[in-house]
Amino acid sequence: MHVNWSALADTAGVSFVVTVAVVTAFALGVLALGRRETAVEAGNGGGGAALAGAGVCFAACAAAVGYGLTLIAG
């Protein structure tokens, strides 16, 4: 039995980078929602930019998860 260590290391590296990216995007989305809530409570506008940023972050997370599921199922 032969193990292709190079391919295994590549797969581990890519999965680590993608995991860190998805977790970072999710954390930024939660941070944006928190800043929107603070802006609404302070009465400084509606915090629309923060809400849009959170939506982009959560959409990126959903896209990455959806792509991963299609790789597993396909």
Q: Is 4 left (phi over 0), alpha (psi -120 to 50) or beta?
A: beta
pLDDT, residue 46, reads 72
Task: Give yes or no for residue 44 having a pLDDT over 90.
Answer: no
Which residue did the predictor score with more confidence, 47 or 53? 53
Q: Confidence class of residue 48 from pLDDT cuts 50, 70 and 90?
A: confident
pLDDT, residue 1, reads 86
pTM of the model: 0.84
Q: Which two tokens stand for residue 22?
A: 């998805």
Write the single-letter amino acid at 29: G
Q: Confidence class of residue 21 from pLDDT cuts 50, 70 and 90?
A: very high
Write the single-letter amino acid at 7: A
Which residue did the predictor score with more confidence, 43 or 63? 63
Radius of gyration for the alpha carbons in the chain, expressed in angstroms and rounded: 18
Q: Which two tokens stand for residue 52?
A: 């849009």
Short-list 57, 49, 50, CA closest to 26: 57
CA 21 from centroid of its chain's CA atoms: 6
